[in-house]
Amino acid sequence: MRKNIVITGAGIVSAIGCSKGEVTRSLLERRTGIGEMQYLESVHHELPVGEVKMSSEEMKRRLGIDAAKEVSRTVLMGMMAVEQALKEARVERKDGRRILLVSGTTVGGMDLTERYYGSFFESDEHLDCMKTHDCGSSTQQIAERFRLFDDSTTLSTACSSSANALMLGARLIETGQADIVVAGGTEALTRFHLNGFNALMILDRQQCRPFDATRAGLNLGEGAAYVVLESETAARERGAEIQAWFSGSGNACDAFHQTASSDNGEGACLAMKEALESAGLSPKDIDYVNAHGTGTPNNDLSEGVALQRVFGTEMPPVSSTKSFTGHATSASGSIETVICLLAMQQGFIPANLGWQHPIEGGITPTLGQEGCRLRHIMCNSFGFGGNDTSLILSAEAPLGRKETVANEERTVEVAARVEITDEAALTEIKNYVKPMEARRLGRILKSALLSSLKALEEAGVETPDAIITATSLGCLENSVQLLNQLRDEGEQGLKPTWFMQSTHNTIGSAVAIHTGCHGYNATYTHGEDSLKWALADAEMLIRSGRARSVLVGLHDETTPEFCDIMSRLGKRDLKPLHSIAMVLTCGE
Amino acid sequence: MEELELELKQEIIKVLNLEDMTPDDIETDAPLFGEGLGLDSIDVLEIIVLLEKKYGIKLANPAEGKGIFKSIATIADYVSKNRKK
């Protein structure tokens, strides 16, 4: 029988509170955490944000960290939320169990990088911050604090990162690779992504109004949330309190556009259907949907269509709690999962604040309910590149949960492998990609697409069942160009194309869009271990019969600025460009 | 106006990375989006940034760009009437 996965602890740090109690009160009192920025050092005070109401200095004080030590706000918030979750689940010692931390982030240590970027080229004073710039090192710093974790990894699929961290955590327990997984995500507000979203013109200058006809964009937020996942049997054995069952999850790719959702919400629809199927539930079983609901014209229209496709005439109450927290990007999935958990435990449906006018043909969100019994809740998280994930929490053990037993007789074979290390090889992209598509691709995207398409060709696979990407620094060239632009020109007119191609999952989504792959899509960004995790994930998919062909890629690049900084930190011989694309297939 | 149209073509080729194109390849009255040159929503954002940086024109909403960005001729007309620099 398939293992039931349960949640035995949760921690949350958000614009509406830094504990489960505070968040519950804000939700019930309908108090939004969105307002004028107090902590982010930006000129854009006209843009409301959902900040965590605490300075980084205060966070360090609470965590007992030396005030003089430079620690990213992403890491500080992550530590606070993980601490709460572990405490609640009463996981204090290893006791021979294998305990992992799985975290989602995209911004990582960017808050410190952007603060000191200009100084890196003048002195070595703040150079050490670059050691903790990448996403993986944020997770490692959080893990090290607790001296409890056997290993950790980082997922970065933009705004669905932490939802995918939860999904992976559950799969690691199901397949016996971990006994306990602390899963979630963390993301601090930065000038970098505030200006990036501003360049994409999807930020509302007023309070966001998800699913309202007059909605004009999202408000960025920040925060962290983690849950403790373990098998129901193990939880019962150690006498842990079961807060909810993690009963289903689905991951699909819209494969449509880097920053927009398709009109028919295909990716969202597939993710929700898969989540229902894996939980063994039908649409009528869902008592509440916590929507992705960012408040952008595009997301809310597309998600509404997808919800209507999945639920038809049996639409449960739907709300977006981003009207409380702002859009905490990578952390939003786990923040909203914890909000769903609170709703289930306290028996209420959170309001969709600010909604007044229905979208023509769209869905009507709930303005909140109290005193209700919620048995099954769906939580949606969709990311740039169409990385769509849907999770289901249940108040009782799911009976019809789909059995996907790993079959040891299924072997994993490498059907093709293509490596690119030379920029000159990229001219060949013209044979695979139309000039209008190729013109805006950065170097790493060309290299990723070219290696992937050649590997698929070699393996005789047109569209793989899944795409898994490993990258330690992602689209570094575009990120450095944006940092240079912020340093030289200030906070105005960032180049939209660069920002659109600066998230780590741009790489995997570009391949999905090109090959029309709507299947599972994930990106690991955990330093040198990124590829190890991507391969382990691919193996899980193939052995469980979920995929017969998986495209796995390792893609990284450096820039002269970055090489200069890293060589001063003692790290030399970085390759300017490196792509490995492999097609793994099932060889029963 | 011809001078402004040529300048716009050069700038658009640059910011949109239309690598193998020259100003002669873009017809002044031909549609830029859809069936024409084939530009998309990201290009709209790039042109909005271009107008702000080069001519001091601020558009608050990408939807405003729809009528303005039909062709090089319509952009030139709008720029000549609204430019701040």
Please give the sequence-ordered ranges of beta strands (E in DSSP) within A434-505, or none if there are none.
Answer: 466-470
HSE at residue A440, side-chain half, CA atoms within 13 A, is 22
The residues that bridge with A378 in the sheet, in sequence order, are A289, A392
Nearest to A101 by CA among A91, A110, A109, A111: A91
For residue A335, give both structure tokens: 């923040």
For residue B9, give both structure tokens: 């073509």
| Contact of A129 with A113, CB cutoff 8 Å | yes
Distance from CA of B17 to the nearest CA of A (A): 6
Q: Mean pLDDT for chain A?
A: 96
**Best of B41, B55, B69 to disrupt the A interface by mutation (most A CBs within 10 Å)?**
B41
| Residue A425 to residues A448, A469, A476, Cα–Cα distance (Å) | 12, 21, 19
| Contact of A388 with A520, CB cutoff 8 Å | no
> How distant is the alpha carbon of residue A131 from its chain centre?
22
How confident is the model over A28-60, as pLDDT tens digits? 999 999 999 999 999 999 999 999 999 999 999
Asked if pLDDT for residue A408 goes beyond 80, the answer is no
Inter-chain CB proximity A439 and B18 less than 8 Å:
yes
Asked if pLDDT for residue A403 goes beyond 90, the answer is no
Mean pLDDT of A219-241: 97
Determine the Cα–Cα distance for residues A446 and A451; give it in Å rounded to an integer.
8
Measure CB to CB from residue A201 to each of B16, B53, B62 and give the nearest one. B62
Determine the Cα–Cα distance for residues A479 and A383; give it in Å rounded to an integer.
18
Mean pLDDT of A145-159: 97
Determine the Cα–Cα distance for residues A13 and A225; give it in Å rounded to an integer.
6
Mean pLDDT of A429-449: 93
In which element (H, E) is residue A244 found?
strand A244-253
pLDDT category of residue A399 using cuts at 50, 70 and 90: confident
How confident is the model over A489-522, as pLDDT tens digits? 999 889 999 999 999 999 999 999 999 999 999 9
Distance from CA of B77 to the nearest CA of A (A): 23
Nearest to A115 by CA among A472, A483, A567: A483
| Residue A255 to residues A96, A268, A270, A379, Cα–Cα distance (Å) | 42, 11, 12, 21
Phi-psi region of A93 (alpha: psi -120 to 50; beta: other; left: phi over 0): beta
For residue A565, give both structure tokens: 């900084």
Place of tokens 């819209």: A254
Place of tokens 């992992």: A100
For residue A303, give both structure tokens: 């998600």
Q: Quote the pLDDT of residue A400.
A: 79
How confident is the model over A95-139, as pLDDT tens digits? 889 999 999 999 999 999 999 999 999 999 999 999 999 999 999
3-state SS string for A352-418 = CCCCCCECCCCCCCCCCEECCCCCEEEEEEEEHHHEEEEEEEECCCCCCCCCCCCCCCCCEEEEEEE
B62 in contact with chain A, both atoms CB, cutoff 8 A: yes
Inter-chain CB proximity A439 and B61 less than 8 Å:
no
Which residue of A lies nearest to B49 if distances are taken between CA atoms? A493
Nearest to B11 by CA among B56, B58, B46, B61: B46
Phi-psi region of A261 (alpha: psi -120 to 50; beta: other; left: phi over 0): beta
Answer positive or negative: Cα dihedral of A457, A458, A460, A464.
negative
A434 in contact with chain B, both atoms CB, cutoff 8 A: no
Q: Is the pTM of this model over 0.95?
A: yes
* A82 or A571, greater pLDDT: A82
Nearest to A374 by CA among A341, A337, A344, A339: A344
Mean pLDDT of B48-54: 94
Show residues of chain A in contact with B17, CB under 8 Å: 439-440, 497
| Contact of B48 with B11, CB cutoff 8 Å | no
Q: Specify the 3-state DSSP secondary structure of A459.
A: helix
B46 in contact with chain A, both atoms CB, cutoff 8 A: yes
ipTM of the complex: 0.93
B34 in contact with chain A, both atoms CB, cutoff 8 A: no
